[in-house]
A = this chain, B = another copy of it.
Amino acid sequence: MSSITDVAKLAGISKSTVSRVIANSGPVKPSTREKVLKAIKMLDYNPNLLASGLRAKSGRLIGLILPESVHFDFGFFIQTISDICMQYNLGLIIGTHHNSPELESRLFDDFYSRNIDGLIISPVSDASLLGKRLKDSLGKVILLDREITNSSCNSVSLDNYKAGYMMGSHLYSKGHRNVACITGPQHISLSRDRIAGFRQAFLDKGVMIDENFVYEGNFDVDSSFEAIQKFSQHPGFSSITAIWAQNDVMAVGALKKLTKLGKSVPDDIALAGMDGTDLSYLSTPSITTILQPFSQMAEKTMSLLRNPPADVPVKIKFDPILVENESTEKEFIIK
């Protein structure tokens, strides 16, 4: 590892001038610039980002805090954000909090002590301990995907209420009056918003959803197995004609379990998911889902970080897109 001093010595010139050449700040005689560039090449010199970051109070670094990274949607966020960071010569430091407020706080502190230039965070839930710390660094923080109720942070997320409403309307229009739902964890506001919208869509048509058929899942396969298991043991199950799982993974899990129980999708029962992942169209039957524009959300997030809005907070909600597939294609007869 050679330093700027090494370069200066080799070029027979001062550090200041070398720095000027690198940053293109201030005038440098062409001939000395040449010498410097040659020395840089010879020594395979790269400026130390810790030193410059310390001086400039900017680590040329974006922090990304997610619940986990194995989930498809988060992988997509990582991908898009990482690509944009690369484009702007920014590093990307990542941490996952597994819904633990303590881990979330540790990550936050660690990131800040690295002089990050921006923080993108999909927070734990309303139980997050970051409240006031987030407030102190408003321009630098964007909440992505998940919201914190009543927070004054900038945020980029899907209109989850609308997503629920769209799905409710869709199922209603297909003739379904007795529906079930496998939700995400209720401590996360997006899960609450989704089911609220779903309920409202039916309510607007005068239909009440039976709360016995609302199951709180955790976005993982196993919880969808449990949900179907529980539903199937309820006497009212035979009248249920549609199930909405709040992500595609749980929808596919539900499909598997329903098939095992001898229920055929979409003939006996309709099924829908959410996210618009490959899973939805790769499964047989293909599953009706709600597409989330993950890439656009990530792009918007980065653009907000790079051009901080004057009047915080900015709350951006993306529109969900309903994708109809085979799993809800059958029209149910309305008695």
Contacts and interface: CB of A to CB of B under 8 A. Distances in A.
A92 B114 CA distance: 12
A82 B69 contact: yes
A33 interface: no
A113 interface: yes
Residue of A47, A54, A253 contacting most chain B CB atoms (<10 Å): A54
Contacts of A42: none
A278 interface: yes
A112 B282 contact: no
Contacts of A249: 278
A320 B167 CA distance: 42
Contact of A94 (B1, B49, B92, B256): B92
Nearest to A285: B284
A49 B92 contact: no
A48 B115 contact: yes
The main secondary structure of chain A at its interface with chain B is helix
Contacts of A75: 69-72, 74-75
Interface in A29-88: 46-51, 53-54, 59, 61, 68-72, 74-76, 78-79, 82-83, 86
Contacts of A53: 50
Contacts of A51: 50, 54
Interface stretch (A103-111, A152-160, A202-210, A233-241): A103-111
A239 B61 CA distance: 56
Contacts of A96: 79, 82-83
A259 interface: yes
A259 B79 CA distance: 32
A212 B50 CA distance: 54
A311 B202 CA distance: 67
Nearest to A278: B221
A95 interface: yes
Contacts of A186: none
A17 to B, nearest CB: 20
B95 A93 contact: no
A5 interface: no
Contacts of A243: none
A49 B221 contact: no
Interface string A134-164: 0000000000000000000000000000000
20 contacts: A46-B109, A51-B54, A68-B79, A69-B82, A70-B75, A70-B79, A71-B75, A72-B72, A74-B75, A79-B96, A82-B94, A86-B103, A86-B106, A91-B95, A91-B110, A92-B93, A94-B94, A221-B282, A282-B283, A283-B284
Which 8 A-B pairs rank lowest in CB-CB distance, beginning with the nearest? A50-B54, A69-B78, A70-B75, A46-B113, A75-B75, A49-B113, A50-B53, A50-B50
